[in-house]
Amino acid sequence: MVKAIRVYRTGGPEVLKYEEAELAGPARGEIRIKHEAIGVNYIDTYFRSGLYPAPMPYTLGNEAAGVVTAVGKGVTGFKVGDRAAYVAGLRSYAEEANVPAEVAVKLPKGISSETAAAMMLKGMTAEYLLRRTYKVREGDTVLVHAAAGGVGLILCQWAKALGATVIGTAGSPEKAALAKKNGARHTILYRDEDFVKRVAEITKGKKCQVVYDGVGKATFPGSLDCLAPLGMFVNFGNASGPVDAFSLLMLSQRGSLFATRPTLNTFMAQPGGTASMARQLFRVVENGSVKIRVTQRFPLRDAAAAHRALEGRETTGSIVLVP
């Protein structure tokens, strides 16, 4: 038995139950990891609320890092005692979990379990957004919404390292200042200012090659209006709610725009996908071009408080649960 956050019905943070849960030995191809830190991601709130349906009951959470304590049959890449991190479907808000070895990665010496739990899901997301979805090039102007958030801070730093000029939106002056410290050349307080107008001013009418939008409903269709002809709208999240169906003519009217709604799962499922995204992420973190900020830690039992903070727009950077 392990202590875990279990979900029996969808709803607000109050549906998260901290209790004992069964955990069998690792099955063939799996490893068991004793968690030292657990990543909190906005997607966890979508499962909890029911926006993303899943069969219940389940243990919430998609990411954690720690030490391998058992190895299932057929696993060759890991041994007991290795430090590892993973991104995998519902299971991580727990003291320990079994995960398919193919989705786990060994941690380099310089990367702590806490840093790994704070960055694997968010950082691999930043990697595929910047390097595989729209390929950011030197000289591009990139708009990042919620620039001071977990994914946002990584996107700003990494896009800058790729040679882009980053414009970041943020919900408060403190968040805007943090985004500026982390790679955003310009910031916009999108709760007070018209971000479309400000992007036009900042770029002197040239607009952006790509918009990375994890906010969704509240920034649509404004995000489309921030794009130069042939630009790409990348809607990768729904922090304010999902973008509703829209007419494709909106893309032609603004200059042959591209629009995509990517997910990390698709990129992890490509041959060698997880390993290569993780490698690129470790490279930029180890060479210092991307710094991972853990801004709040909550005991595992207080996962509901972590969700309240995240959905209340009170957090910046990454937050983790400590078992």
Q: Which residues bind ligand NDP (CB under 6 A)?
A: 41-43, 121-122, 125, 146, 148-152, 170-171, 175, 214-215, 218, 236-240, 262-264, 310-311, 313, 315
DSSP assignment, residue 132?
A: I
Shortest reach from residue 289's CB to ligand NDP, in Å: 19
Which residue's CB is nearer to ligand NDP, number 26 or number 216? 216
Token output for 267? 């990129």
In terms of Cα–Cα distance, which of 16, 17, 21 is closest to 3?
A: 21
In the complex, least distance from residue 204 CB atom to ligand NDP, rounded to whole angstroms: 25
Question: Residue 37, Cα to own-chain centre: how many angstroms?
Answer: 16
Q: How far is the CB of 155 from ligand NDP (least distance, A)?
A: 9
Q: How near is the Cβ of 10 to ligand NDP at its closest, in Å?
A: 16
Reply yes or no: is the peptide bond before residue 57 cis, omega within 30 of 0: yes
- CB nearer ligand NDP, residue 58 or residue 267: 267
CB of 80 to ligand NDP, least distance (A): 30
CB neighbour class for 23 (10 Å; exposed up to 12, middle 13-18, buried from 19): middle
Q: How far is the CB of 187 from ligand NDP (least distance, A)?
A: 10
User: Residue 121 or residue 227: which is nearer to ligand NDP going by CB?
Assistant: 121
Q: At what angle do helices 273-286 and 113-128 cross, to 10 degrees?
A: 110
Closest CA to 133 of 267, 270, 282: 267
Residue whose CB is less far from ligand NDP, 208 or 310: 310
Q: Which is nearer to ligand NDP, 68 or 184 (CB)?
A: 184
Between 6 and 293, whose beta carbon lies closer to ligand NDP?
A: 293
For 13, the 3-state DSSP assignment is: helix
* Smallest distance from ligand NDP to CB 145, Å: 7
In this complex, which beta carbon is closest to ligand NDP, that of residue 78 or of residue 212?
212
- Element at 106 (helix H, strand E): strand 104-106
Query: Exposed e or buried b for every residue in 214-249, given b needs 16+ CB within 10 A?
Result: bbbebbbebbbbbbbeebbbbbbbbbbeebeeeeee
DSSP codes, 146-199: STTSHHHHHHHHHHHHTTPEEEEEESSHHHHHHHHHTT-SEEEETTTS-HHHHH
In the bound complex, what is the minimum distance in angstroms from residue 16's beta carbon to ligand NDP?
A: 17
Quick one: which of 54, 63, 50, 64 has its CA closest to 15?
50
Nearer to ligand NDP, 179 or 300 (CB): 179
